[in-house]
Amino acid sequence: MSSELPRQTDNAFLGQEIKGGSHEPTYAGALSFMRRRYSRDLTGVDLAVWGIPFDASVSNRPGARFGPQGVRRASAIFDGDPQYPFQFDPFETLACVDYGDCVFDYGRNPDIPGHIQTQAAGILATDTHLFSIGGDHFVTYPLLKAHVAKHGPLALVQFDAHQDTWSDEGDRIDHGTFTGRAVREGLIDPQRSIQIGIRTHAPETCGLEIIFGHEMDVLGIDGVIERIKARVGAGPAYMTFDIDCLDPAFAPGTGTPVSGGLSSREALSVLRGLGTIDFVGGDVVEVAPAYDHADITSIAGASVALTYIGLLAEKRRQAV
């Protein structure tokens, strides 16, 4: 029997390459998203995965500040394999790093939106694609501001149980108002924006198209995909996925669960069908591991991130 060690551990720190899987045991080693190397050097990097551990704007159960940790931990089980349903490892195509977490003083909440926006803008200034892991859904607002500063007004593709269009005086830090504020500030074009999986009612729609949770049964996966693509069109778009879009059976670890939601299979199948949309950024938010069971919700969050990344890699492969 050979005495040669078959695998390297701790690729997050020791990896020499920023492409390819690490092939280390899922139960050991330093955790990063998909064992990507931790780095703030974006030279030659196509994609940065970034955590935003902020949950001070929730209206129900806190805990999404641990979402980045949970999603990173859950992602380890997928590392090194061809990713379903793409049948290839996206990190053989995309140079990707784990950029770590957003830096802010938790005791100075009014300053946090500016820190998120400024640090996100710094990543985007290097022409690196940014995928963020929250954190509660407020973090999407400063993320949108950073992306819009680079790309102009965007279409919003929002997977969610809630419309997040509640009234807002403009200075609140609230995870239920960011969509309405983004419309009023011209960050997103409501005529090109759509919400999927909604199972609550807010006072106004702000002009966004809504696919309610129960409509999944009527439209089917293909019908939902076509509605999204028709709404968004050819212009740039931002994808935000609130994990409570999923039914609590598939995502119990979240702050404001609502029954009647999408299954993990339905949501991932819809996202898989959106490869023609020009996504310039995205996030997954509201994963709160303290309310989870057996990492169900964290695994779902990691799967959303991986599906989104798979779309980016597939588009890159097709362009070659």
The residue assigned the tokens 């950073």 is 146
Spell out where the chain has E strands.
Answer: 47-52, 96-101, 129-134, 155-159, 194-198, 209-212, 236-242, 278-285
- CB neighbour burial string for 177-216, b if at least 16 within 10 angstroms, e if fewer: bbbbbbbeeebbbbebbbbbbbbeebeebbebbbbebebb
What is the identity of the amino acid at 253?
G
- Looking at the chain, the whole-number percentage of residues with pLDDT higher than 90 is 81
* Confidence class for position 2, pLDDT limits 50, 70, 90: very low
Q: Where are the domains of the chain?
A: 11-319
Q: Which residues touch 111 (CB under 8 Å, ≥6 apart)?
A: 104, 105
Digit-coded pLDDT (tens) for 66-113: 999 999 999 999 987 889 999 999 999 999 999 999 999 999 999 999
Separation CA 93–CA 313 (nearest Å): 6
Helices within 17-76 (DSSP H only) = 67-75
C-beta neighbour count of 66 within 10 angstroms: 20
pLDDT reported for residue 319:
86
Q: Which residues touch 159 (CB under 8 Å, ≥6 apart)?
A: 195, 196, 197, 239, 240, 241, 242, 245, 262, 267, 270, 271
DSSP code per residue over 79-114: TTSPBTTTTB-GGGTS-EEEEEE----TT-GGGHHH
Digit-coded pLDDT (tens) for 171-185: 788 777 899 999 999
Q: What is the mean pLDDT of the chain?
A: 93
Q: Say if residue 5's pLDDT is above 70.
A: no
Domain 11-319 in CATH 3.40.800.10: yes
Distances (CA, A) of 69 to 76, 218, 265: 11, 36, 23
